[in-house]
Amino acid sequence: PPECGLPLTQMFPPSPSLQQIQFADQKQEFNKRPTKIGRRSLSRSISQSSTDSYSSAASYTDSSDDETSPRDKQQKNSKGSSDFCIKNIKQTDFGRREIEIAEQEMPALMALRKRAQGEKPLAGAKVVGCTHITAQTAVLIETLTALGAQCRWAACNIYSTQNEVAAALAERGLSVFAWKGESEDDFWWCIDRCVNLEGWQPKMILDDGGDLTHWIYKKYPNMFKKIKGIVEESVTGVHRLYQLSKAGKLCVPAMNVNDSVTKQKFDNLYCCRESILDGLKRTTDVMFGGKQAVVCGYGEVGKGCSAALKAMGAIVYVTEIDPICALQACMDGFRLVKLSEVIRQVDIVITCTGNKNVVVRENLDRMKNGCIVCNMGHSNTEIDVASLRTPELTWERVRSQVDHVIWPDGKRIVLLAEGRLLNLSCSTVPTFVLSITATTQALALIELYNAPEGRYKQDVYLLPKKMDEYVASLHLPTFDAHLTELSEEQAKYLGLNKNGPFKPNYYR
Amino acid sequence: PPECGLPLTQMFPPSPSLQQIQFADQKQEFNKRPTKIGRRSLSRSISQSSTDSYSSAASYTDSSDDETSPRDKQQKNSKGSSDFCIKNIKQTDFGRREIEIAEQEMPALMALRKRAQGEKPLAGAKVVGCTHITAQTAVLIETLTALGAQCRWAACNIYSTQNEVAAALAERGLSVFAWKGESEDDFWWCIDRCVNLEGWQPKMILDDGGDLTHWIYKKYPNMFKKIKGIVEESVTGVHRLYQLSKAGKLCVPAMNVNDSVTKQKFDNLYCCRESILDGLKRTTDVMFGGKQAVVCGYGEVGKGCSAALKAMGAIVYVTEIDPICALQACMDGFRLVKLSEVIRQVDIVITCTGNKNVVVRENLDRMKNGCIVCNMGHSNTEIDVASLRTPELTWERVRSQVDHVIWPDGKRIVLLAEGRLLNLSCSTVPTFVLSITATTQALALIELYNAPEGRYKQDVYLLPKKMDEYVASLHLPTFDAHLTELSEEQAKYLGLNKNGPFKPNYYR
Amino acid sequence: PPECGLPLTQMFPPSPSLQQIQFADQKQEFNKRPTKIGRRSLSRSISQSSTDSYSSAASYTDSSDDETSPRDKQQKNSKGSSDFCIKNIKQTDFGRREIEIAEQEMPALMALRKRAQGEKPLAGAKVVGCTHITAQTAVLIETLTALGAQCRWAACNIYSTQNEVAAALAERGLSVFAWKGESEDDFWWCIDRCVNLEGWQPKMILDDGGDLTHWIYKKYPNMFKKIKGIVEESVTGVHRLYQLSKAGKLCVPAMNVNDSVTKQKFDNLYCCRESILDGLKRTTDVMFGGKQAVVCGYGEVGKGCSAALKAMGAIVYVTEIDPICALQACMDGFRLVKLSEVIRQVDIVITCTGNKNVVVRENLDRMKNGCIVCNMGHSNTEIDVASLRTPELTWERVRSQVDHVIWPDGKRIVLLAEGRLLNLSCSTVPTFVLSITATTQALALIELYNAPEGRYKQDVYLLPKKMDEYVASLHLPTFDAHLTELSEEQAKYLGLNKNGPFKPNYYR
Amino acid sequence: PPECGLPLTQMFPPSPSLQQIQFADQKQEFNKRPTKIGRRSLSRSISQSSTDSYSSAASYTDSSDDETSPRDKQQKNSKGSSDFCIKNIKQTDFGRREIEIAEQEMPALMALRKRAQGEKPLAGAKVVGCTHITAQTAVLIETLTALGAQCRWAACNIYSTQNEVAAALAERGLSVFAWKGESEDDFWWCIDRCVNLEGWQPKMILDDGGDLTHWIYKKYPNMFKKIKGIVEESVTGVHRLYQLSKAGKLCVPAMNVNDSVTKQKFDNLYCCRESILDGLKRTTDVMFGGKQAVVCGYGEVGKGCSAALKAMGAIVYVTEIDPICALQACMDGFRLVKLSEVIRQVDIVITCTGNKNVVVRENLDRMKNGCIVCNMGHSNTEIDVASLRTPELTWERVRSQVDHVIWPDGKRIVLLAEGRLLNLSCSTVPTFVLSITATTQALALIELYNAPEGRYKQDVYLLPKKMDEYVASLHLPTFDAHLTELSEEQAKYLGLNKNGPFKPNYYR
């Protein structure tokens, strides 16, 4: 039996599970070729928003770039290599500075690099990756390289590539195939260029969304069988792996990074606690003090949003379907209501349910003038935006990501990001959070690459608890936090190894 | 396979688990006959403290009571029954009023009674119980009776019985065997009287600590085999059942009420959030504002304590051994330190670790004058109180539960409850919290009593998720909380039954 | 013109002022001889509650004391003096320990004593005092003595004297005339004994409530004229001085300690923030999480209560008459309502208005079963308790300070302290808060005693800002707080003296 | 004596006052002709930042505008008037929409307009104004017009004019002279055009900074004498009026809007509570959770900043020079330190003191890599930015308003807004807050214009308390807040008029 990882299927027994909850309606679509834009937004991958941050910050713009497709250009880096395809190799310097800034807030990866001076745990590992290509990812990729890996990379999203970062990576010799504004055809072309190199059999896959995995699985089945491990970050990608596994077609061990406790807690609770405020401010400049808000759903995301708004002086109502979360909301000091009870009086409506049609036209009709409506939860299904596309309503784009929807009587609803995820579209994600995920990805690759024969079977695994704890410990120095160590006597008393793991696997 | 309950052994896989952590050092003692006083304090059973509340409140005292042992008295209730043994049947009225007050804050049990007018889910169920005998338990027992059960009851603690409540129960016909201040011999005599009645084969056991279960198991093995189910509330009792199960000797399905999510979250997080303040104020009248406190351990209890003190204007430091909890403490705004870093400067030291010797003599020596030391975590092992029993230190009892330990140079440490649990000794537990546990116990009895053949095997189970949710939902009306219902379409989208369960079993 | 004190009349211009607000209805009663019990409760003197704390703590009781009136006893201290009149000189040791414990939390007074080793700023000052006689006051009195004063003392309240403390004071040679349970006649007899000693012309008065001042003013007008200064702590006493001043009859400068910023902020905001929780818990054991509470009035007291309850997870509504405070409540995240809007749904009603009939019978009739009603604000007028004394309602005393008022349909209202101040009756006051007031009193005495001719006229003054700041600075070491000092250059830039005062007098 | 306003000189007695504190070093510069850029930043006028908000939002840019100076253009509005001078009259529509959006969040002004349909309290009032020209100001100006006033307007800042808004005002017939990017010469030319119109004697001045007042005072002394009243918003302008008054040269009553309680509390406490988070996020995307921050100064601004950061999970240290504010910081749960004690460990340094050289080079040298430094307090003097302009340090502009200052060893300090006010430069101000100030300005104009002869003398006044309360009450409907009314009996008891004022003038 696996010494330090639990098969996901054991962790997620056949009772209705989180995965099933979140993906139920996607099953029928699974075999459809994914559309890059629509589906991608299903992924709760936070990396994307760093683009916004970047672009809002940069005085440097692409406006002067020529319109030639990168596929039609001949580019070489300063060492003469042209095994890459990016927008403009000349943007290297700017991208390098962005990477250096990111390095400062990714201490765990830098610590791994330092360790790697002695041992190269990924020595010889041929890794293909498909993620957002941002400064933070660049730090990850260059860390993998420092650990001994040979990497080839494509973008998991047609819009999110930071061209300057891609340039900086290419200049350092990485084979990267990505630019901002790829067509769908470009997208798959890049992935294929990344994978399909004469005599290059990838051993590890680092994926975000499952497209790279899917491409190899479908197009290069023999290559797929020789893969040693897959590391997948996104909800969507994990779901696809889980379905493969259920269908008995997953012939490679895969590591589910998405459900590791550090990622869950950080991404959902702590991060949303900050990004809800940031997203609302940047788009609407609303004053929080005294505002009435309703938060639909009191899971981790709803908990974070509610806590933040309350802390800033808003009056928060909560809706829930689950009596246990409902009781938590009560104990935390929020009135638990049905949406219809408060819809006429609230100033802000936030959805965090993972459900669909949580806010429907009838609710929107009853909102008061100026009410802000946004989605922090899942995809773009929570608010029934389609119901607002009717002739009697006027849409007015007042800022980027901000629409006023105007009723015949003059009432305006302020709709953010057209109902897509607010924190992806309208706020940034701190590098520190991305660091946790990136470190988990790196460790997952190391674990799978070095695991002795038989530790992992053809299944989807969570990262061993001990590694979760290791990721966390690598981030403690950022806070100048000093961990207490168990004495021998105490460890014995508790029946624990002094070095952990300290909690059972299911601990959340 | 069990439709709605997971075997505990599946939930707690053989990796180092919570149970093992907490009980590691108790194993060797397991076969020793438990001493009523010492061991009992291991049980995190909150009911006990209600006694303190009661006794501090009551102007009514037992001082005038005669000193005759109840075992030597002849008592009859007004209907002529004498199948009970209590302190004084005349105290009925006072006890009845206490029960009535408790009923007002136990809405879920009262709701069960109302339902029971139509159906009697415990019709004919012969139940033996062994719990603290307080007003709140009385509401539970009388609810079981209303649901059709025939009950016989003993006390699980030699000190905690509210004599007036026992009187009120006896007057209504319950066969109760308990009084405040039993000797250890009395304790087992009461349990035996409770069980050993000619021609009365108990079907269900409701236990708190495992003594009743153990007594039947050892003394009446044939009776034990005919038991249909055991419901156990305490950590200690659950541990004992788990060991029986491991040894292959548990021939009866048992329900672990202690680990249900509602109990865990309420007892540990929300309850401690309030009781830390209450316990400190009642004993020391300390002003929280501006005080520096260190909280050892950032599990649920530590989280509750830290949040409360911070909210009241204290500056809180946290110590942890687990990097994940440590990172949570950081993100929640607490400096993570080693105890030795802050021990000289803090005004309050609180242990919440489940560990032993967390605060040792060396720490105590370095504390500043007036420092308050208390334990919210586990047993009485966390603070090494024994190390303070040395000739050069003077102990001065300044109030009930409050000792000044005085160093030769005049420095005083304020030690609360001699290092035992502060919230059991020095604060009260709201009836509302007890109501959640009591309702869970009642539902567990109903589930086990009515489960079809084969649903439960000879193992330790958690209450099915759906019942957890049902318990929670019965407590929502207290908060005038309105749950949202899924539409058919939404339920389908989420792959859920409209009526729950809404989360997987492992959800915490 | 006064260099460092502002005449109160200038600070309180003839527009409707705080004083007038709070005392409007007392004017007509001013000439009536005060009844010790009723009127005394008007005084927001927090010292009283320390009695409760003490008595609840002490296992030591007076029950064995003989019933002889102290006035009829012959008592001598160990040095042979009998110029005192107390309950029992033998209780000295217990009282001394209480004083010693209090000394540990009154660092500022102890610091003054240390200074006094060199200078004796009260050398020769004959001081008569009339305050609660508690361990904390004893620390103050003994500090005055250490500073050079000769003191004689009486109690300002017939119930609040800690007999043991009085004994300890008498043993050390203080002429104290006070015991717990004085009759009204005893009360005035004690005051007179305190003042009327052949050849002893008091120079300074330290008063709490104005009775001592009034007695001298009426009975010994010649003595009154020779007084050098009066220091008054209570709202009531300040009001009486203010009226004397308005009537042109105040021939002595008086210092209003009650309105100093440190006392106001500590007593009202920070102290109530803690005592509302303490008072509710000790009386009702109510769980705060999820409870709905309405706080009537959003002044400092209301702000403290609301913040505390919100921090503990309650949902708080606020009522206000003043739009500015109302807007603050909104910005702080509380729904501003009329009482009638929420009266049916709330679990807790708290009055903090300074007004009368804020909660009337009509409100009480509409409250839900189990609703807790209490007063944190002013006197006993805020809740119309008289309206509950009607035949159809049943009163049931369930605990000390807790009544259930029962409606014919069985509904119970939980009324605390019969509508008197909750924090005086049901919670304790930390010594640290009393320390601030006591230090202010001591400094006010020093200032008045040492002020050069002409600095203070026959008026009521606030303590000079600089002394307020000094009091605050003496309490900072308790928190290990390190003040920043201005550089010469910065002081010049700000136009300030490096040593303060740092803010204008009116700053709050 | 003035019935409803207190002369400021009485409120601000000759002891070192707030004004003196903040302006001490400006005295010598008073007679210097102000430089538009440097000095203007002294003004704590929050309106400016709305520009940033606007410009970041608008897709509409000025880039295509011609470079002709507005002074050289001939422009006419659609009604043929050309008594204005702005950038481009064609931008009317965009500006009108901005104004309409602002109207929605300025309910109090809209309520005044509604009232004005019956009465015209400013009928015939000739008003000259000099303020930031933004959508919010436009709502104010158009409200004044609706109330009967004839207005002419200039900009108080050469950068802050929203050209589109100016266009919309001009199109409606307002004589507005302002554009974004005026030269200093343009600035005074605009003011003069505004004032100097044949046969137009202004009666009222609405000023922000005192430039308009100063211009009339110096250039048109006869016109100045006929002015009926001045309303001044900014600290700087109030200070200048106060000096005029002290010099006996203020021959016109003036109203100090800056110090009204609503403005102070909103602008400083509540607003900074939100803008500190917003400003930090927009510039640095920093994650607040777990960060260590030091806030220098614990006045209203410091209180707001500290509370917000603590609420978001940061660990906050406070520095103070005033022991009273220091004690408040302690009671609020912040460690009070000297800057040097924590400078090595903190991640964020925020100045809120009103002082100069609070953070000096020595502190900056000791900060850790990545430390963020910003100023929320006063001008640009708090951080000694000049000390960073030395050869060995490299400055790198990484984003708008964000500089990295790089030490020879590679350490980077993140300096925001070059030490100028963060909330003016890097965050927006909610319209709701501007609404409170604007309403106060409108009421101040009405009061001064309608006051009977003799109510106001040649002095600086605060708005009468009752009007403060009225401003507050006009903003309560935004929060759906319901004020309680006093009964006749209660009003009598409190000695208050049922309609207020409810607090004395000095109440804060």
What average pLDDT does range C343-352 have in this prediction? 97
Q: Is B151 within 8 Å of B191 (Cβ atoms)?
A: no
What the block records as the tokens of A448 is 């799978």
**Lowest-confidence range among C17-31, D305-319, D369-383?**
C17-31
Q: Is C331 within 8 Å of D261 (Cβ atoms)?
A: no
For residue C26, which residues of chain D lie inside 8 Å, CB to CB?
A: none
- Quote the pLDDT of residue B230: 97
Whether omega for the bond prior to residue A501 falls within 30 degrees of 0, making it cis, is yes
What are the b/e assignments for D338-375, b being 16+ CB within 10 Å?
Answer: bbeebbebbbbbbbbbbbbbbbebebbeebeebbbbbb
Contacting subunits of A (3+ beta carbon pairs below 8 A): B, C, D
Q: Is B347 within 8 Å of B372 (Cβ atoms)?
A: yes
> Chain A: residue nearest D370 by CA?
A104
Given CB atoms, is C14 within the 8 Å cutoff of chain D? no
pLDDT digits (tens, 9 = 90+) for A35-94: 333 322 222 222 222 223 333 333 333 444 567 899 998 899 999 999 999 999 999 999
**Spatial CB neighbours of D141, under 8 Å, sequence gap ≥ 6:** D129, D151, D153, D169, D174
**Lowest-confidence range among A110-124, B398-412, D15-29?**
D15-29
Judge: C495–D335 Cβ closer than 8 Å, yes or no: no
> Chain D: residue nearest C335 by CA?
D481
> Chain D: residue nearest B315 by CA?
D333
**Lowest-confidence range among A90-94, A116-120, A203-207?**
A116-120
Please give the backbone phi and psi of residue C131, each rounded to the nearest 5 degrees, phi first.
-140, 175
- Quote the pLDDT of residue D66: 62
State the greatest distance between any 2 C-alpha atoms of chain C, in Å, as a whole number: 74
pLDDT band at A105 (very low <50, low <70, confident <90, very high): confident
Three-state DSSP string of D385-425: HHHHCCCCCEEEEEECCEEEEECCCCCEEEEEHHHCEHHHH
pLDDT digits (tens, 9 = 90+) for A329-354: 999 999 999 999 999 999 999 999 98
- Quote the pLDDT of residue A10: 34
- CA-to-CA distance for D315 and B331, rounded, in angstroms? 10
From D13, D341, D486, residue closest to C505, measured CB to CB: D13
From D18, D270, D324, residue closest to C472, measured CB to CB: D324
> How far is C333 from chain A, CA to nearest CA, in Å?
4
Amino acid identity of residue A58, one-letter, is A
Nearest Cα to Cα of residue A168 among A140, A138, A137, A194: A138
What the block records as the tokens of B455 is 């649903």
For residue C271, which residues of chain B lie inside 8 Å, CB to CB?
A: 287
Please give the backbone phi and psi of residue B7, each rounded to the nearest 5 degrees, phi first.
-60, 140
From B290, B292, B335, residue closest to D331, measured CB to CB: B290
3-class DSSP state for residue B57?
helix
> Chain A: residue nearest C313 by CA?
A333
Phi-psi region of B199 (alpha: psi -120 to 50; beta: other; left: phi over 0): left
> Chain B: residue nearest C311 by CA?
B311
- CA-to-CA distance for B252 and D202, rounded, in angstroms? 96
3-class DSSP state for residue A49?
helix
Helices and strands counted in chain B (H then E): 22, 15
pLDDT band at D19 (very low <50, low <70, confident <90, very high): very low
pLDDT band at C229 (very low <50, low <70, confident <90, very high): very high
What the block records as the tokens of B100 is 């009535």
3-class DSSP state for residue B143?
helix
Judge: D322–C469 Cβ closer than 8 Å, yes or no: yes
Q: At what angle do helices B92-104 and B163-171 cross, to 10 degrees?
A: 90
> How far is D476 from chain C, CA to nearest CA, in Å?
6
Given CB atoms, is C356 within the 8 Å cutoff of chain D? yes
- CA-to-CA distance for A144 and C28, rounded, in angstroms? 86
From C329, C336, C496, residue closest to D21, measured CB to CB: C496
Given CB atoms, is C38 within the 8 Å cutoff of chain A? no
> Hey, how many other C-beta atoms are within 10 angstroms of the C-beta on B506?
20
- Quote the pLDDT of residue C63: 44
pLDDT band at C147 (very low <50, low <70, confident <90, very high): very high
First to last CA, chain C: 23
| CA dihedral over B99, B103, B109, B115, signed as positive or negative | positive
- pLDDT for C74 beyond 90: no
What the block records as the tokens of C216 is 């001298």
Judge: C18–D503 Cβ closer than 8 Å, yes or no: yes
> How far is C306 from chain D, CA to nearest CA, in Å?
15
For residue D497, which residues of chain C lie inside 8 Å, CB to CB?
A: 16
Better-scored residue on pLDDT, A181 or D39: A181
Judge: B289–D331 Cβ closer than 8 Å, yes or no: yes
- Quote the pLDDT of residue D508: 65
3-state helix, strand, coil in chain D (%, to 5): 45, 15, 40
> Chain B: residue nearest C281 by CA?
B278
For residue A317, which residues of chain C lie inside 8 Å, CB to CB?
A: none
For residue C321, which residues of chain D lie inside 8 Å, CB to CB?
A: 483-486, 502
Better-scored residue on pLDDT, B27 or D410: D410
Given CB atoms, is C107 within the 8 Å cutoff of chain B? no
From A271, A289, A370, residue closest to D104, measured CB to CB: A370
**Spatial CB neighbours of A317, under 8 Å, sequence gap ≥ 6:** A292, A293, A294, A295, A334, A335, A336, A337, A341, A342, A346
Q: In a 10 Å sphere around its CB, with 0-12 CB exposed, 13-18 middle and 19+ buried, how is residue C248 labelled?
A: exposed
Judge: C290–A314 Cβ closer than 8 Å, yes or no: no
Distances, alpha carbon B460 to alpha carbons B223, B242, B256, B262, in Å = 19, 7, 6, 18
What the block records as the tokens of B502 is 């809404």
Judge: C331–A310 Cβ closer than 8 Å, yes or no: no
- Judging by DSSP bridges, how do beta strands B412-416 and A254-256 pair with one another? unpaired
Q: Is C84 within 8 Å of C168 (Cβ atoms)?
A: no
Name the pTM for this structure.
0.86
- CA-to-CA distance for C53 and C39, rounded, in angstroms? 22
Please give the backbone phi and psi of residue D337, each rounded to the nearest 5 degrees, phi first.
-135, 170
- pLDDT for B1 beyond 70: no
- CA-to-CA distance for A337 and B480, rounded, in angstroms? 9
- CA-to-CA distance for C419 and C399, rounded, in angstroms? 15
Amino acid identity of residue C265, one-letter, is K
pLDDT digits (tens, 9 = 90+) for D115-133: 877 789 999 999 999 999 9
From D290, D310, D335, residue closest to B330, measured CB to CB: D290
Chain A and chain D share a number of CB contacts under 8 A equal to 101
Judge: A336–B11 Cβ closer than 8 Å, yes or no: no
Q: Is C167 within 8 Å of C87 (Cβ atoms)?
A: yes
> How far is B320 from chain A, CA to nearest CA, in Å?
6
| CA dihedral over B299, B304, B309, B312, signed as positive or negative | positive
Q: Is A137 within 8 Å of A95 (Cβ atoms)?
A: no
Distances, alpha carbon A95 to alpha carbons A60, A172, A177, D216, in Å = 11, 11, 16, 55
> Chain A: residue nearest C293 by CA?
A333
- Quote the pLDDT of residue A310: 98
Q: In a 10 Å sphere around its CB, with 0-12 CB exposed, 13-18 middle and 19+ buried, how is residue B400 labelled?
A: middle
Distances, alpha carbon C209 to alpha carbons A409, C40, C49, C205, C374, in Å = 63, 8, 16, 12, 24
Nearest Cα to Cα of residue B407 among B415, B417, B399, B418: B415
3-class DSSP state for residue C174?
coil
pLDDT band at A268 (very low <50, low <70, confident <90, very high): confident
From A53, A58, A400, residue closest to D285, measured CB to CB: A53
- CA-to-CA distance for C44 and D334, rounded, in angstroms? 29
What average pLDDT does range C289-316 have in this prediction? 96
Mean pLDDT (chain D, rounded) = 85
- Quote the pLDDT of residue C66: 62
Q: Is B146 within 8 Å of B113 (Cβ atoms)?
A: yes
C303 has binding-site annotation: yes
- Quote the pLDDT of residue A66: 62
DSSP states of B363-400: HHHHSPTT-EEEE-SSTTTSB-GGGG-STTSEEEEEET
pLDDT band at D65 (very low <50, low <70, confident <90, very high): low
pLDDT digits (tens, 9 = 90+) for D313-335: 999 999 999 999 999 999 999 99
Judge: C508–D503 Cβ closer than 8 Å, yes or no: no
**Lowest-confidence range among B175-184, C154-163, C280-289, D429-438?**
D429-438
Query: Which strands form C315-319's sheet, in the order they lie side by side?
Result: C335-336, C315-319, C292-296, C348-351, C372-375, C412-416, C402-406, C394-399
From D53, D290, D370, residue closest to A285, measured CB to CB: D53
For residue B341, which residues of chain A lie inside 8 Å, CB to CB?
A: 482
Judge: D104–A412 Cβ closer than 8 Å, yes or no: yes
Given CB atoms, is C9 within the 8 Å cutoff of chain D? no
Three-state DSSP string of D74-119: CCCCCCCCCCCECCCHHHHHHHHHHHHHHHHCCHHHHHHHHHHCCC
* Long-range Cβ pairs for the range B218-222 (8 Å, 24+): B219/B192, B220/B195, B220/B196
- pLDDT for C201 beyond 90: yes
Q: How far is CA A414 from the centre of its chain?
A: 26
Question: What ipTM was estimated for this complex?
Answer: 0.84
Given CB atoms, is C17 within the 8 Å cutoff of chain D? yes
3-class DSSP state for residue A504?
coil
- pLDDT for C79 beyond 60: yes
Interface subset of B 288-307, CB within 8 angstroms of D: 289-290, 292
Distances, alpha carbon D357 to alpha carbons C501, D38, D379, D382, in Å = 20, 17, 11, 5
Using alpha carbons only, give the angle D183, D184, D188 rounded to the nearest 5 degrees: 115
pLDDT digits (tens, 9 = 90+) for D145-169: 999 999 999 999 888 899 999 999 9
- Quote the pLDDT of residue B25: 33
Q: How far is CA C323 from the centre of its chain?
A: 29
Given CB atoms, is B434 within the 8 Å cutoff of chain C? no
Token pair 């250059």: residue: C489
Token pair 């606690």: residue: A273
DSSP, res C184: H
Given CB atoms, is A6 within the 8 Å cutoff of chain B? yes
Judge: A310–C332 Cβ closer than 8 Å, yes or no: no
- Quote the pLDDT of residue D118: 79
